[in-house]
Structure 1
Amino acid sequence: MRDGSEDSSGGGIPTVDLSAAEPALGAIDRALRRAGFLLVSGHGIDPTLPAAIRESARAFFHLPAEVKQRYAVKVGGRGWLGPGAEANGYAEGTATPPDLKESLSFAADRPTGRPEVDAEWFLPNRWPAEVPELRPLVEEYLARMQALSDRVLGLLGLALGEGADFFTRHTGHPTFGFNVNWYPGRERLGEPEPGQFRIGPHTDFGTVTVLDRQAGKGGLQVYTDGGGWADAPYDPAAFTVNIGDLMAVWTGGRWRSGRHRVLPPPADAPDEELMSLVYFYECDPGTTINGIESHAHLRAQLDAITADGDVR
């Protein structure tokens, strides 16, 4: 697709070329008002980097459960989220079965010098000793994701008509989260329970999410009022970007938090295995957005999606 053109199969979600001389600000505004989603190409990130992360993470996920359990944490922690740890549908008040996934979770770790903030939001990451090559790959990816996210936020500020620094002046020392989500097939999981998804329907909680995903039958779907649920458009050269609840509040409701889900592993492709790299970019701790304290909101939502899995 050309810069700013829309894919009707994905609910009018455009691909925006970040390298274009004149970004498609009108298309960005329309898409975020309708679906809360974009695709971004022209980002300059070498595709071999996410591929290498997937290869290393896959080696971890295929380790015996007792090895992975050494890194087990609850939602919002830094480590391994095992089967049954998370149910994103809880954020909508829906009593869904736990999500059909495992995750390796990392987050911001560069201290601010404020002990009360650092103790909650800037703790050291836990790196699995069994896959030592993962750490340098993820650290490089995180640096590139932060730069890309600020670039995207600059465009969003312009699309909102508020200037390129409208959001980025609040990302001087932001928090972020990064999940490597592994979606195994039915040959490992068995038959999904009724109403069970790889990730249940929800909206993200924060500012902006940048997703590197793989195509699959049991993949990402996006919800719009006019079209209901539809498969998200896929471009292997583009990142999928969606805005979260705080961004929707930040715009006074002009833009909508992108509601989405990840379908269960399909019955006609029972061995389908997918892996997504999900970067949740937030703002500086202490930022108040239209009366909402950003990180109190984030913590409450992370707690809300914690299922009754066997974690510590």
Structure 2
Amino acid sequence: MTPIATVDLDRWHEGGEAAATVLREVDAGMQRAGFLLVRGHGVPHGLPADLRAAARRFFALPPEVKQRYAVSVGGRGWIGPGLEANGYAEGTETPPDLKETFAIGADTRTGDALIDTVWFLDNVWPEEVGELRELFLAYTAAMRTLSDELLALFAAALDLPHNPFEGLASRPTWTYNINRYPPLAELGPPEPGQFRIGPHTDFGTVTVLDREPGAGGLQVYTEDGGWADAPYDPSALTVNIGDLLAYWSGQRWPAGRHRVLPPQASAPDEDLVSLIYFYELDHDARVTPLEPPIGRVSGLAPVVSAEFLRTRLDAITLG
């Protein structure tokens, strides 16, 4: 048994009792874990595999070539090993996460330099892997469409009279990371308390993950069961909500707490690549938490999306 529900967006689109069942499953699954497996997501067949293959070609480049695209956490380009420790987001000091990342993000500039230089930076495209740009753009377009649909699904699951996110994501901030988790044979033994990604919750509204299963893979935490391996379905995407959406729900739904295990001695050559889309809202979106009886906590103050996110991003950046 797994606390992570599997839902099918095609059944939601059917309407009637099929849709009502999906909405009940969404609410129950979110209350348990803040995670879902989502089928019927509409991502073009073959696109994730093509993007993953191109990313592997980039990660296989010599370090001195990747260094041309090097940035710090929150930047656009290559985030090399040793720069990020996600456990710090929940106050746990851990060694650096065992990964390298290539990141892009929203570039729909506002014209205000103070905003654009933080939230709408120019993306960087490695000339050595020319196909990455078009694959990235095709995939993130599909992710944007899916994420907006998920926000509508969540509003419907709470039986709200309208979707409160419709006016809050006209120029959203988002980040798209491709993480490579190198094998044990390359890294050597992990330090005590070191993970591929340390325990944390994400920061925004929804995170959409296309992952490869592995011995050193994704684990999800629930209050009832503690840490457990996340179920894997090759036809589904893994979706979790972040701190901002959990706050909007009045803490009815917990942000999905998770981690990625370090490479395991049982699989020393395991080399995994994950595709991760972090969706948020407009940088200046004002989020007002739901009051009881839908929300679980009353009197939570409204927050502005960018201010809410910035403090969390700073916490995980090393150096």
TM-score under structure 2 length normalisation: 0.91
Determine what percentage of the aligned residue pairs are the same residue.
60
Q: Which residue identity is paired with 1:16?
A: V
User: Aligned to 1:277, what secondary structure does the other structure show?
Assistant: strand
Which segments of 5 or more consecutive residues in structure 1 lack a partner in the other structure? 1-7
Q: Kindly provide the CA deviation profile for residues 78-120 of structure 1, in whole angstroms up to 9, marking residues without a partner as x.
A: 0111010100000011110000000001000122334432222
Q: Distance in 2 between matches of 1:86 and 1:48?
A: 30
Distance apart, 1:63 and its partner CA: 1.0
Pairing 1:269–2:255 present: no
Which of the numbers 37, 45, 48 marks the counterpart of 2:46?
A: 48
Q: Kindly provide the CA deviation profile for residues 183-221 of structure 1, in whole angstroms up to 9, marking residues without a partner as x.
A: 010111110011100000000011110001111111100
Going from structure 1 to structure 2, the CA distance change for 1:163 and 1:183 (only over 3 Å counts) comes to farther
Distance apart, 1:307 and its partner CA: 1.8
Q: Which residue identity is paired with 2:176?
A: F
- Give the structure 2 partner of residue 254 of structure 1: 252
Q: Distance in 1 between matches of 2:279 and 2:125?
A: 21
Counterparts of 1:88-99 in structure 2, within 5 Å, are 88-99=86-97
Counterparts of 1:113-132 in structure 2, within 5 Å, are 113-132=111-130
- Give the structure 1 partner of residue 206 of structure 2: 208
Counterparts of 1:5-20 in structure 2, within 5 Å, are 8=1, 10=2, 12-20=3-11
Q: Distance in 2 between matches of 1:168 and 1:208?
A: 15
Which of the numbers 159, 162, 185 marks the counterpart of 1:161?
A: 159
Give the conservation status (yes or no) of the 8 Å contact 2:42–2:146.
Answer: no
User: Aligned to 1:258, what secondary structure does the other structure show?
Assistant: coil
Pairing 1:69–2:83 present: no
Distance apart, 1:164 and its partner CA: 5.0
Give the conservation status (yes or no) of the 8 Å contact 1:99–1:196.
Answer: yes
Q: Kindly provide the CA deviation profile for residues 243-273 of structure 1, in whole angstroms up to 9, marking residues without a partner as x.
A: 0101011011111000000001111100001
- Give the structure 2 partner of residue 31 of structure 1: 29
Q: Which residue identity is paired with 1:124?
A: D
What is the aligned-residue RMSD (CA, Å)?
Answer: 1.1
Which of the numbers 52, 57, 68 marks the counterpart of 2:55?
A: 57
- Give the structure 1 partner of residue 186 of structure 2: 188
Count of aligned residue pairs for this structure pair: 299
Q: Distance in 2 between matches of 1:56 and 1:163?
A: 43
TM-score under structure 1 length normalisation: 0.93
